[in-house]
Chain A
C-alpha cells in the first residue's frame, strides 16, 4: 500500500527551489490547467477524484468548491489553511518546508478553478521559518511569471500572499481564520452564512488545508479518475500521516488510504513497531481532538475486521468503538502510558486555547481540566469520573465551533475505554505518581510530575 504522489520528490536536494522543482514535473499541472482546461474542468476533475479535505473534517473538496457563490462582479478568494495547530499533527509543516512549490502550484491551479484573483496562505505563527520559505518560493514564482499578471500567457491573473497567524489554535477553524486574516480577534463566526457565500471580507471564499490544495496538483496532472483509483471506496488518494509517540520511527508518512493500521504501526516501512519492545496500549489516530482507542479497537473493528487507515474504517461503529482519521496526527502510546495524565495534557491545551466566545466551551474546558487536576493530585473521587463525563456531554454539540467537541471527545473516549484507570487512581492515588512514562507534549509534563 505504499504510494507516493505528494512526497515523491521530497528527498531531492534543492527541491524547495523553483529550478529543481521544475526539473521534477514542477508546474506541469499549472500549464495543463491554464492551457488545456477551463476552470470548471478543473473542478470536475477534483470532483471525480473523490478528494476529501485533509484538514480533519474530510468533506468532499469538489463539492465544497461547487458551493462557492459566484455573484457577478464580486471577487472570490481561496484561502489556504496552514494554521496547523492540532497537537500530534505536523504533516503540513513537513510539506511546506520541503516542497513549498507544490503548495504554490496547488494554490494557483485551485485559484484558477475557483476564479479567485487574490489568494492567501494563512500560516501558523509558530511556523515563522516556513513563512520565509514560502515567501521565497512566491518571489521565485512571481519572477518566473507563475504568479501575477497573465500567468504563462494565459490571461489569468493571481496575487498570492502569506499571512502569519497569531499563534492561536482556534485560528485553524476556518471562520476564526478568516476573522484573523481580516485583522480581527480570531473568534469563530456563526454559520450560516458559510464562507462559500460570505467569507473573507464578506466575499465568497473557499478555505482548504495545505495537503488538500497540494493534492490538486497530481489530480490535474494524472486526472481525477486516476486519483480515485488510489485508496479504497470513498477514501481515495493518499494521506500524509504524522506519526509520533512511542514508536520506533516517528515522522511524516504518505500512505495510500486503506493501509491496515496494524501494518502502519508495525511495518518497518512506517512506524517500525513500538519502542523498546513494549506493547501498544492506545492510539490517537487523527490528532488530539479525536477519540482515543485501546489496542484491541484500533487494530480491529468491533466486528473483528482489520482496521484500515480510511475515513470509514476508523469511524466504524461510531465513537463507541471507533474514532476518526481527522488530520492524520497518529499518536501511539505504549503500555506504560498513563491515559489520565495524557488526557490532562490535552484538556489543559484545549482550556488554554478556548476563545471564550460561547459559554459551554469557555467555562467547561477549564472545569474539565480542574477535575483532571484532582486525579493528578490524587484527590479525586469516583463521583469525579461521572462528573467529568457529564461536563463533557454538556459541552459536546453545544458550542459555536468544533473546539467544544475537540475538548470533549478525548475526555469521553478516555472514560469510555479506560474508566478502570480513572478508578484505579481514585482507589490508589499514589499510583499516578508512579507512572513515569507518558506521551510527551512539549514540556508540560514538568508541570504535572
Chain B
C-alpha cells in the first residue's frame, strides 16, 4: 500500500494505483472535487491516456525514499503513486495555468460550436473548457476543416471536432475484431480515418460513439433527433446473447430515441454493449425498464425533469451567476453522465 497526498488530502491506495485513480478515490470517499479532468484516458481501455495532457499534475514530492519533486508536470492517468508522494492539482496555480494552456491547444482545432453539435450537453470538452479554460482564444489563424463522413451505416465521423484522443482507436483495437481504422498523417494534420473504402462494421463498433469525448463520432440513428436535455435517460436491460444487455435508454415520451451504454460518474461506460442493443432495439417492449437513471442534479440533462427540489438548487445557482457572482457549480457540474450520489 502507498500513502499519497493529493491537494492536502491523504489516502492509502494499493501499489500500482495511478495518481488519477487515487484522486478519484479521494473524491468518492471524501466528497471533494480534486480528480484531474481526462479527455483521452479511459479506465476500461488498456494503454489509454497520456496523450491529451489535460490530467497533468505537479508532483512536489516523489516519495518518502526519494522526496525530490518531479521536474515536469506528469500525466496523472499514467503515473503511479509512490509511498509518501505529494501531488498538487487544483491547489497549484502554475498547474492550472498549464492546464488552461492545454485547453487552449485542444480548442484550436475543435470549435466550440455546441449549438450545432449533436454532442452538446454531454461533451467532455465543453465541460473541460468551461471548468479549466479561459474566455476567448488567442489563435487567429485558419482552422482545419473537414466534411463529415459516414464510417459505416450507423456512425458519422466529423473530424472538425476530433481531438485525437485515440479512445476510438483503442476501442477498436481491444474490443472488436478486424480493426479497420486508426490515425493517419502526423502533427496537426493527423486524423482519424478508416482504411480505404472500409467501414467500421462489426458487432461492437458502436462503442466508439460512447467513448468519444467530443462530437466527432456520433450515432446516425439519433443525430439531431433531439437535444439531450429534452430526453429522459432510463436504465434498462434485456437478455442479450452478445453483451450484458445493460443499457441506458434516452426516451422522449414513449419513444426510445437512443440507446447507449451506462456511464459512471467519470463519464466512462460501465460495460460495452453490442450494436444490436444499441441500434436495433428501439422499442420499449424490447427492454425491461429498471427506472430513471441517476444523473447529477448539476447536469444539464437533469434540467427538464426529476426531482423539483434539486432542480431548484440548480436554478438558484444559475441565478446567482446571472447576477454577476461567480459561483462554484460543484463537482462535474456540467457532466451529464455524473451519477447523483
Contact A398 B98 (CB under 8 A): yes
* B102 beta carbon closer than 8 Å to chain A: yes
**Chain B, interface SS category:** loop
* A352 beta carbon closer than 8 Å to chain B: yes
Complex formed: what's the CA distance from A260 to B164 in Å?
47
* B101 beta carbon closer than 8 Å to chain A: yes
* B185 beta carbon closer than 8 Å to chain A: yes
Contact A394 B101 (CB under 8 A): yes
For A367, give its contact among B72, B108, B166, B183 (CB under 8 Å).
B108
Report B309 CB to chain A, min CB distance, Å. Answer: 40
For A362, give its contact among B75, B138, B190 (CB under 8 Å).
B190
Contact B187 A351 (CB under 8 A): yes
* A284 beta carbon closer than 8 Å to chain B: no
Report A444 CB to chain B, min CB distance, Å. Answer: 17
* A387 beta carbon closer than 8 Å to chain B: yes
* A232 beta carbon closer than 8 Å to chain B: no
* B135 beta carbon closer than 8 Å to chain A: no
Contact A359 B106 (CB under 8 A): yes
* A313 beta carbon closer than 8 Å to chain B: no
Contact B190 A360 (CB under 8 A): no
* B21 beta carbon closer than 8 Å to chain A: no
* A206 beta carbon closer than 8 Å to chain B: no
* A358 beta carbon closer than 8 Å to chain B: yes
Total number of A residues with any Cβ neighbor in B under 8 Å: 29
Hey, which chain B residues are within 8 Å of A360, CB to CB? 53, 101-102, 105
Contact B106 A363 (CB under 8 A): yes
Total number of B residues with any Cβ neighbor in A under 8 Å: 33
For A397, give its contact among B54, B73, B108, B186 (CB under 8 Å).
B73
Contact A356 B106 (CB under 8 A): no
For A356, give its contact among B75, B78, B164, B182 (CB under 8 Å).
B164
Contact B51 A357 (CB under 8 A): yes
Closest-by-CB residue of A relative to B100 is A394
* B33 beta carbon closer than 8 Å to chain A: no
Residues 133-148 of B at the A interface (beta carbon under 8 Å):
138-139, 141
Complex formed: what's the CA distance from A361 to B164 in Å?
12
Hey, which chain B residues are within 8 Å of A352, CB to CB? 186-187
Report B125 CB to chain A, min CB distance, Å. Answer: 11
Q: List 5 tightest A-B contacts by C-beta distance, closest first.
A: A394-B101, A356-B190, A354-B187, A397-B72, A363-B105
For the A-B complex with A357-B166, A362-B164, A365-B187 known, give 16 more contacts whose Cβ atoms are closer than 8 Å: A190-B75, A353-B186, A356-B190, A357-B164, A358-B51, A358-B53, A359-B54, A359-B163, A360-B102, A365-B188, A366-B188, A367-B141, A397-B72, A398-B53, A398-B73, A398-B101
List the interface of chain B (C-beta within 8 A of A): 50-54, 56, 71-73, 75, 78, 98, 101-102, 104-106, 108-109, 138-139, 141, 163-164, 166, 182-183, 185-190
A–B Cβ pairs within 8 angstroms, 22 of them: A355-B190, A356-B164, A356-B183, A356-B188, A357-B51, A357-B164, A359-B106, A360-B53, A360-B105, A362-B105, A362-B187, A365-B187, A366-B187, A367-B108, A367-B141, A370-B141, A387-B138, A393-B101, A398-B73, A398-B102, A399-B53, A400-B50
